[in-house]
Structure 1
Amino acid sequence: MELEGPQKSGAARAAILLLTLGGEGAAKLLKHFSPEEIRTLRQGASQQKPITAVELDAIVADFQDAFRAGPGLIGLDSELSKLLRSSLSSEELALVFDADEAMEGDAGLPVWYEMEQLGAQAITALLLKEHPQVIAYAVQRLKAEVAAQVVASFEGPLRNDVVRRMLSAKPPTEQMSRLIEHRFRESFVSGGNGAERKQRHATLAEIVNRMEKRQTDDLLNAIETSEPEEAKELRKLLFAFEDIPGLPRKSRLLLFDAIPTETVTQSLSGTDETMREAVLSALGARARRMVEAELSRNEAVAATAVQDARRSIAAAALRLSAEGRLDLTERGE
């Protein structure tokens, strides 16, 4: 069917097809477009005159014809996995893949999801040890945003070689795919850097951080006896208010920089001189005078308020640690 008037550009036709989907459908697709592609769509649409019903039918028919004549689909399992990883939360993914993967005899999440949790820089360092063909296979199975960062970090010759292989190489056999994925799982996941292991540590740390200091120490000592490496990794994620005196002064200054004086005052209720000085020495002169004045009144503070204040400070320390701004394993002089 011939369109009326001058031939429309690809961007204009794409914009028209998006509009036919309605607001909700178009919004879902636009999330996968880059800013440059969206600008191109807008430019294509801005140059168009009103579209007649005949023209609209012709554009939709052309799209349907092109779709029917397309190359079809390959690698359904891996492509669906990529789609799920880009659409579902970590918790939802765990539920989906725990069940599906267990049926196939594989443990845990897909190896590509595990690799994505390492970050682009770590993935790049690991892939550089592999043959370009294996790199191309792996990159194609990562989420687009992660794959883009990885490919961009390669040196020019390797980047060109990998992209060329991605475009021209035939899909590997199912047996070869399983061998490659098994190799990655052994190298990256079983080596102790897997997302599942990190998630276990994070979950356990969140529980332990809510326990009393004495209970925490007993638990860590028990773990250390049988699993010293696990205890070492877990300690990096733990912090209690009672650990503050052990931090260097620069760390304490950073920690208390944004803590309200009321919270500091409540947290110091019933503490000894060592703890008080460790905290007060991390405050500015004005804030220290205010806290000392409040403490000198010796007013009773509810036990729940004291615990809440101390947990709030411990949570702030853990948050700074997660952001990479505070090293909780560093000890004071």
Structure 2
Amino acid sequence: MADFNKILVVVDPNETQQPALSRAAFLAKKTGAQITLFLTIYDFSYEMTTMLSSSEREAMRNGILSQRREWLDELAKPLQADGIKVETLTAWHNRPYESILKAVNEGGFDVLFKSTHEHSTLKAVIFTPTDWHLLRKCPVPVMLVKDHEWPENGVVLAAVNCGSEDDAHQQLDDVITREGKAIAELINADLHLVTAYPGTPVNIAIEIPEFDPQAYTQAMKEHHEKQAKEHAAAFGIAGDHIHVKEGLPEDVIPAVAESLNAELVIMGTVGRTGLTAALIGNTAEQVIDRLESDLLALKPAAKG
């Protein structure tokens, strides 16, 4: 969080509580970061009022934006009184995620905070299409916030891919763990690592009689444990804070997060386009959809 000096908080006009704003304020008090409250607005009925001229429609839009800015200013006042630097920003746009991305790029923000909603029946966080677009396309880290507190001595869980020998994944693991350590120290929490390794491929076990599935699984486990311990040691993470589990990431990560009652899960997202993005994103989305904690999604460090 040391590099998150400018925070953009997406405000939900339909909610009384603003968890993302509360979380951003909590961290800004500790880091001195500046917060900008952002609200994107669109009402199709104003665009379809054919009896009005374009200038009259623009005046109506500006009137709505002005009213919303006043509301944002009221949200900002208690934070400003608490010594936090807060600004407000509004935009009229029919695609919220595009408007948010435009604000991120033009404002030079370091991180984006947005609230998620918990479905009371499913007892799970519901992510909207806007959330998914932001996770895939936002050029800066995205913090998706649930309505709960971050208690002292809590748990931050960093999800890493320690079995990979790909340079990009290893660099991303470093980014995830480094950020996890910084946040854990900032909020007085314990940092844990989780990594998943695959079980025995059923088709190989069937097609190759001499194949030893137990030996294969043990070898995979030992490889991932060795890599995870080396990675943890590089960041000064204790051995009992490493969780290496057999299974798919979308099963392992939420299960470990729940068992530890983690306040925050940190994951990586590697930007891709086209079909590759759909395939790569599918696993990440399944993980995220099952989490009951806050999520911080990070991108690989910029090259150069």
Q: Taking structure 1 as the reference length, what is the TM-score of the superposition?
A: 0.23
Relative to total residues, which structure has the larger strand share, 1 or 2?
Answer: 2
Q: Taking structure 2 as the reference length, what is the TM-score of the superposition?
A: 0.25
Name which one, 1 or 2, has greater alpha-carbon Rg.
1
Relative to total residues, which structure has the larger helix share, 1 or 2?
Answer: 1
